Structure 1
Amino acid sequence: MCGICGKLDFTGSPVDENLLRRMSDLLTHRGPDDSGIYMRHHGSVSCGLGHRRLSIIDLTEAGRQPMSNEDKTVWMVFNGEIYNFAPLREELERKGHRFTSRTDSEVIIHLFEEEGSAGVARLVGMFALALWSEKTRTLILARDHVGIKPLVYYWDGKKFLFASEIRALLADPAVRKEMDLEALDLYLSLNYIPAPHTIFRNIRKLRPGHILTIRDCVLKEERFWDIKPWTPADTPDVSDFEETKATLFRTLEDTVRSQMVADVPLGAFLSGGIDSSVIVGLMARNASRPVKTYAIGFADMPMYDESAYAREVAAFHHTEHHEIMLSSREIIDTIPIVLASLDEPFGDSSAVPTYVVARETARDVTVALSGDGGDELFAGYRMYKGEAWHRRYCLIPRLIRAGLLEPFIRSLSDSRDNKYGEQIRRIKKFLRGAKDTFEERVFSWNELFSPESKKALLTDSYGTDHPKAKELFAAALNHLSTDYINRMLYADLKISLPADMLWKVDTMSMRHSLEVRVPLLDHRVCELAFTIGGEWKIRHGRSKYLFVETFKEILPQSLHNRPKWGFEMPISKWLKSDLRYLIEENLSRERIIRDGIFHYPAIKKLIDNLMSNRSDTSWQIWNLIVFQVWFSQYGKN
């Protein structure tokens, strides 16, 4: 795992070496073990590549980047891991290629020599990479199938820059810091900013499963992977159930085994949920010594503490278990550090506990496997049941729904602070999404600020006439002609998974130079998951039915029917107490009027509703706090 950056200049000027080093230095947390640069000037074209190394495989100098082929005509910087590098290397050696290291990185260069950019589709792993051909003066960028590793770029028609993080691009004074109003709308709508947008107008994220080619001042983006369309007739029937389970078990176990290869200490996150427990179980089956597992618990927050479940799984598989018990004060004290680390607004508050567990895990190991992706592939979230609930709800006469039930539910107070209030909040969210069309329902269940709320919130200068979030979801939901569950899962695979979950895990773990691997998101597992009909993913009211049935022999009995519980914080409670200062500092009348982005009366209403316990607006307030902290660092210039 590493940090990469680079610049391509078509003006005739050479790339500034000091700039390249500044960009690279801003990524030191991603690669503290080593650094390197490559620079070349070809007439009117100048190329510079920068790299920060986190050594994982082949810890010697031979693995240093930027890395080249034998005649030094192809150069590469690479971030990630390639899990099928061994068979690819054997194949390339038979064709005459000679290797100077044991790294997975070098395989990519020789594969490019053989097959060009088409070779990217043969890689199994997580990656963001840049390849420069001196012969053709062509730069190629590629990002892995589902977007596990980030890659951003800037282009003004003559100068092209890329990096693992936005902050590195901003090291160049030529990069204009203009806010993208469509991205602001996406952030308020979804709590994150999906690719290809970033909060900056001229900076873009390379979309997962895509290749970007730059040659002669022309950019060309093409997709190299996607879930193949299929029809309900292709889904396995009841007679294929056992065969599907066997295939899934075998495929995921092979994936886990391949991801346990490292020349540094390796362990696993263990939350006590189904997904991480399955990964740990498969690791235990394939390890020669006890697996190192890491879990955090909250001594004074029992509603959010899952350490007992993690402890049970650890005992079940005889792992070397590390339990990190934290107080709410320790989490609260970490929040300003996390907020200051964000180079674009990101409103998922679970970034904070993710940061903490990565920090503690990195004290002992360099690589950790996680269970991310299981909910998005096998229907673990409550939202996926929403469509079935809606169909039942519509059996109630509209007069009773609209005239009695809905006004009564709206009159109740909701809160994340207790289980009763949380149930009311969930019911309200379901009702808000009870729209006329499937696309409208799914989008409403994902929406943070409604169009009406955004209109009241944003000043005229910062609104947009072209909101993107709704059409983004509509396109994804209609990509596959299949059952509604898999259509929802595909939308999450393409939108929230890379932009929210994977971005969060990568960003928070790399702040501590910890590589996190996600076996469930091997693209072959993803492809298999989407050949399984939704009727086997949610069955008899049970989420992840087929997934649990497949792996129940390696799960403690208590997890077989355990409901989903997210990795969250009591943000509502804290905003009313310990974190109230964040509201006062960032959402004060004076600050809001001075910045000129939001209308203060709309913000005051959100705050009043939270403080009076009329409605839990904590996630919306947190979203705005995160934005304001980011704006104070990056937005004002």
Structure 2
Amino acid sequence: MQAALAVYGPDRSGLWDDGDVALGCRLKRLLPEDRLDRQPATSADGRFVLVADVRLDNRPELAAELGISAGRLAAMADSALLLAAWEAWGEAGINRLYGDFAFAVWDGRARRLSLVRDFPGMRPLFLHQGRGWIGFASMAKGLHALPDVPVAADLETLCHYLLVMPRAGTNSFFTGIQRVEPGHITVVEADGAVRSTPWWRPPGKLPEPADPRELVETFRATFDRAVADRLRAVGPAASTLSAGLDSSAVTATAAELLAPSGRRLTAYTHVPLPGVPLEQNPARFGDEGPLARLLASRHPNIDHVEVDAADRHIGDDLDRRFYYAEAPALNLCNTLWISEITRQAAMRGQTVLLVGTAGNKTISADGLERLNALLYRGRLIAWAREAVALMRAGDIGIKGLGFWSLRPLITGALEERLSSLFGRRNLSLRDYSPLRPDRLERFLEDRPPEARGDNRVVGRNALDRVHQTLLVFPQQEAVTLSRKGMLASHGVDHRDPTADRRLIELSLALPDSLLLRNGQKKWLYHQVFADRVPPEIRLNRRKGLTGADWAERLLRAQAGLQGELDRGAACANARDLLDLDVLTTLPASLPDPATARGPVMHTYRLRMLRGLSAAHFLRRVDGGNL
């Protein structure tokens, strides 16, 4: 197992063996304190043994609670501090831990193994239950190294993934390998009994403030701490920077935090290929370079790098991704530029890449759910005030106002009829699904009766913003695996301040009035980042369209795409799951980049590329080549 996992931890290995129980560790040094790491870590009395993939972001607070002096803390790796916390509090102390972690603790006295993952699940952890034994590993590759663990794809999990369905349960992409769910602890008792329970629960709502300024400052301080904690590293930091709100906030804040110590930040922006047609969309713009340059120019310590990935082709690193990430990519267009930016960061010696993937749920939520909440609570005057202000600002039309105000009452079937009445058509699973038609119909029929008329990806219950936010994080399992793969292949750790648990909890607890206020959407964002993000970005009603040159890139990769789909058609599991009779014909009929948009994009960028990614994954799994 350790040999199989060496690519994820090349700097140090350790092993503890007590006969019928053994724990191993492969370490990748990412933090200054990692030079002190001596895992597996054993408690002074020998009762507990711990192995961990961990970055603790509240080291000072934990040390204070545990009575550990600053001098002693400076000599402790995060794993040692984690072990001290477990000795003091056991399972009850997990909620005191902030950061990214997946760890295992063996209790020799109770003969109990505890497997724990952070919320929202930034570090992976898997287990396999064999006959009379249990194994666990940070990646499935470690378990597949054991002769008793079969290598086979879980088609049901892959089906849900390809349809972008909410992720729940312990199934992984591999049959017989279970994941520890984000925010859960899985306990294996001496008699072999296994229980999995959530240790994390969403917070309650904060009361409506008489003066919101204190909450604004609290939010700003929480965000700044989230960014600062992710800058703790053994090498220079970088960030991704689009023309969007979230990466702009992350990049600007990181630059401000680094400036006093004279440190620099490299900000990478993906830009389209020069001189090629871009997808035309009145609500989007295809080149995010100019606005990204504007933000970077405000910070003398930002080195701005624009990346067009002109020498890369869609799908050119599928084998590499399979080996390191062990998961199919859902968006091969974005995978191309993310991997290229990571490669360039590694070439410059940068070990941390800050991203803002979760920001639209934690820092830049628009708050439109408040319209329904006000109606539901009978606050008609407040609803009318917000509705009028929104319409005067031009941020919503009468149809949008009705949608957000009455959304929980609109079923999927009714929404389809209303959309047709207004000359619109919602995106349906049938528009982009790469599954065989019989597979898709079976999936639709197996859904609960109340959902069968609803072909949307995830229904929006406008009344319950918390529920909708929490649906997003369990879906990010493949993102976590992708980042683990990037770390192994390039040595660059992707870190997301917008997914900090402290920030998630605060954003979930906030009253809706801080998100939609006096007709201004994203009110909190504008208050917090008014002095950091220029108005050209904050107030821009158009959104950037990353990968707007997708049609041209498909043409350049045409031969490779055709070859990969043809090879996938020879895989039995791929033929069983995917509509390869149609998918294999698509590369020969790629659209003209000058006219490609809308439904054409759904066919090629979504259906074809998702099908291709899944076919490659299944082909490699069936070959047993991990």
TM-score range, shorter chain: 0.7 to 0.9
Conserved? CA contact 1:36–1:66, under 8 Å: yes
- State TM-score, norm by structure 2: 0.78
Residue aligning to 1:629: 616
Secondary structure in structure 2 of the residue aligned to 1:213: strand
Instruction: Give the distance between the partners of 1:483 and 1:463, measured in 2 at CA.
Output: 27
Secondary structure in structure 1 of the residue aligned to 2:221: helix
Instruction: Give the distance between the partners of 2:511 and 2:74, measured in 1 at CA.
Output: 46
Structure 1 unpaired stretches of 5+: 1-19, 410-426, 434-443
After TM superposition, the structure 1 stretch with the greater mean CA deviation from structure 2, 464-473 or 79-88, is: 464-473
**1:555 lines up with 2:570 in the alignment:** no
Instruction: Give the distance between the partners of 1:470 and 1:46, measured in 2 at CA.
Output: 48
Tell me the amino acid that sits aligned with residue 468 of structure 2.
M
Secondary structure in structure 2 of the residue aligned to 1:70: coil
Instruction: Give the distance between the partners of 1:92 and 1:382, measured in 2 at CA.
Output: 39
Deviation at 1:134, TM superposition (A): 2.4
- The 5 A counterparts of 1:10-89 are 20-25=1-6, 28=7, 30-41=8-19, 45-60=20-35, 62-89=36-63
2:156 corresponds to which of 171, 182, 187: 182
**1:346 lines up with 2:317 in the alignment:** no
Instruction: Give the distance between the partners of 1:469 and 1:449, measured in 2 at CA.
Output: 22
Instruction: Give the distance between the partners of 2:523 and 2:100, measured in 1 at CA.
Output: 28
**1:243 lines up with 2:214 in the alignment:** yes
Residue aligning to 1:615: 600
Residue aligning to 1:527: 505
1:564 corresponds to which of 536, 539, 543: 543
**1:390 lines up with 2:391 in the alignment:** no
**1:490 lines up with 2:475 in the alignment:** no
Tell me the amino acid that sits aligned with residue 456 of structure 1.
P
Conserved? CA contact 2:352–2:494, under 8 Å: yes
Residue aligning to 1:14: none
- The 5 A counterparts of 1:457-476 are 458=439, 466=446
After TM superposition, the structure 1 stretch with the greater mean CA deviation from structure 2, 386-395 or 559-568, is: 386-395
1:361 corresponds to which of 323, 328, 345: 345
Residue aligning to 1:414: none
Q: What is the aligned-residue identity percentage?
A: 20
Secondary structure in structure 1 of the residue aligned to 2:268: strand
Tell me the amino acid that sits aligned with residue 241 of structure 1.
P
1:586 corresponds to which of 565, 571, 574: 565
- The 5 A counterparts of 1:298-377 are 298=271, 300-301=273-274, 303=278, 304-332=286-314, 334-341=316-323, 342-349=325-332, 350-363=334-347, 364-377=349-362
Secondary structure in structure 2 of the residue aligned to 1:200: coil
Conserved? CA contact 2:574–2:615, under 8 Å: no
Q: Deviations over 1:398-419 (max 9, x none)?
A: xx9989973996xxxxxxxxxx
Deviation at 1:295, TM superposition (A): 0.6
Deviation at 1:174, TM superposition (A): 0.9
Residue aligning to 1:198: 172
Secondary structure in structure 2 of the residue aligned to 1:362: helix
Give the RMSD, CA atoms, in angstroms: 4.3
Deviation at 1:355, TM superposition (A): 1.6
Secondary structure in structure 2 of the residue aligned to 1:553: coil
Instruction: Give the distance between the partners of 2:263 and 2:552, measured in 1 at CA.
Output: 39
Deviation at 1:315, TM superposition (A): 1.9
Instruction: Give the distance between the partners of 1:404 and 1:132, measured in 2 at CA.
Output: 57
Instruction: Give the distance between the partners of 2:573 and 2:66, measured in 1 at CA.
Output: 61
- State TM-score, norm by structure 1: 0.76
Residue aligning to 2:420: 406
Secondary structure in structure 2 of the residue aligned to 1:23: coil
Instruction: Give the distance between the partners of 2:87 and 2:449, measured in 1 at CA.
Output: 40
Q: Deviations over 1:491-510 (max 9, x none)?
A: 223x33x3354444443344
Conserved? CA contact 2:127–2:177, under 8 Å: yes
Deviation at 1:225, TM superposition (A): 0.9
- The 5 A counterparts of 1:38-187 are 38-41=16-19, 45-60=20-35, 62-93=36-67, 101-187=75-161
Conserved? CA contact 2:346–2:491, under 8 Å: yes
Residue aligning to 2:380: none
Deviation at 1:144, TM superposition (A): 0.8
Instruction: Tell me which of the two structures has the higher relative contact order, counting C-alpha pairs closer than 8 angstroms and 6 or more residues apart.
Output: 2
**1:508 lines up with 2:489 in the alignment:** no
Q: Deviations over 1:549-594 (max 9, x none)?
A: 3211111231121343354464444334423432343247963679
Deviation at 1:375, TM superposition (A): 0.8
Kindly tell me: are residues 579 and 539 of structure 1, through their superposed partners in 2, closer, same or farther at Cα, counting changes over 3 Å? Answer: farther
Kindly tell me: are residues 254 and 402 of structure 1, through their superposed partners in 2, closer, same or farther at Cα, counting changes over 3 Å? Answer: closer
Kindly tell me: are residues 448 and 182 of structure 1, through their superposed partners in 2, closer, same or farther at Cα, counting changes over 3 Å? Answer: farther
Kindly tell me: are residues 264 and 178 of structure 1, through their superposed partners in 2, closer, same or farther at Cα, counting changes over 3 Å? Answer: closer
Instruction: Give the distance between the partners of 1:559 and 1:236, measured in 2 at CA.
Output: 29
Instruction: Give the distance between the partners of 2:249 and 2:404, measured in 1 at CA.
Output: 33
Instruction: Give the distance between the partners of 1:263 and 1:339, measured in 2 at CA.
Output: 25
Secondary structure in structure 1 of the residue aligned to 2:21: strand
Secondary structure in structure 2 of the residue aligned to 1:591: coil
Deviation at 1:432, TM superposition (A): 3.9
Conserved? CA contact 1:111–1:119, under 8 Å: yes
Instruction: Give the distance between the partners of 1:608 and 1:383, measured in 2 at CA.
Output: 43
Deviation at 1:255, TM superposition (A): 2.9
Deviation at 1:270, TM superposition (A): 2.9
Instruction: Give the distance between the partners of 1:193 and 1:70, measured in 2 at CA.
Output: 40
Conserved? CA contact 1:459–1:596, under 8 Å: no
Tell me the amino acid that sits aligned with residue 265 of structure 2.
K
Residue aligning to 2:437: 456
Kindly tell me: are residues 156 and 100 of structure 1, through their superposed partners in 2, closer, same or farther at Cα, counting changes over 3 Å? Answer: farther
Deviation at 1:143, TM superposition (A): 0.7
Conserved? CA contact 2:41–2:49, under 8 Å: yes
Conserved? CA contact 2:188–2:194, under 8 Å: yes
Q: Deviations over 1:130-157 (max 9, x none)?
A: 1122222222111112111111221235
Count of residues paired in the alignment: 567
Kindly tell me: are residues 454 and 533 of structure 1, through their superposed partners in 2, closer, same or farther at Cα, counting changes over 3 Å? Answer: farther
Deviation at 1:354, TM superposition (A): 1.6
Instruction: Give the distance between the partners of 1:507 and 1:167, measured in 2 at CA.
Output: 12
Conserved? CA contact 2:185–2:196, under 8 Å: yes
Q: Deviations over 1:233-259 (max 9, x none)?
A: x5636x433333222112212333333
Instruction: Give the distance between the partners of 2:523 and 2:193, measured in 1 at CA.
Output: 48
Secondary structure in structure 1 of the residue aligned to 2:102: strand
Kindly tell me: are residues 211 and 97 of structure 1, through their superposed partners in 2, closer, same or farther at Cα, counting changes over 3 Å? Answer: farther
Secondary structure in structure 2 of the residue aligned to 1:48: strand
Residue aligning to 2:392: none
Deviation at 1:337, TM superposition (A): 4.9
Kindly tell me: are residues 509 and 306 of structure 1, through their superposed partners in 2, closer, same or farther at Cα, counting changes over 3 Å? Answer: farther
Deviation at 1:192, TM superposition (A): 9.2
Residue aligning to 1:13: none
Secondary structure in structure 2 of the residue aligned to 1:554: coil
Secondary structure in structure 1 of the residue aligned to 2:506: helix
Tell me the amino acid that sits aligned with residue 298 of structure 1.
V
Structure 2 unpaired stretches of 5+: 279-285, 370-395
Tell me the amino acid that sits aligned with residue 291 of structure 1.
R
Conserved? CA contact 2:54–2:78, under 8 Å: no
Kindly tell me: are residues 610 and 593 of structure 1, through their superposed partners in 2, closer, same or farther at Cα, counting changes over 3 Å? Answer: farther
Q: Deviations over 1:13-40 (max 9, x none)?
A: xxxxxxx332332xx2x33322222222
Residue aligning to 2:251: 280
Deviation at 1:335, TM superposition (A): 3.6
Instruction: Give the distance between the partners of 2:172 and 2:420, measured in 1 at CA.
Output: 37
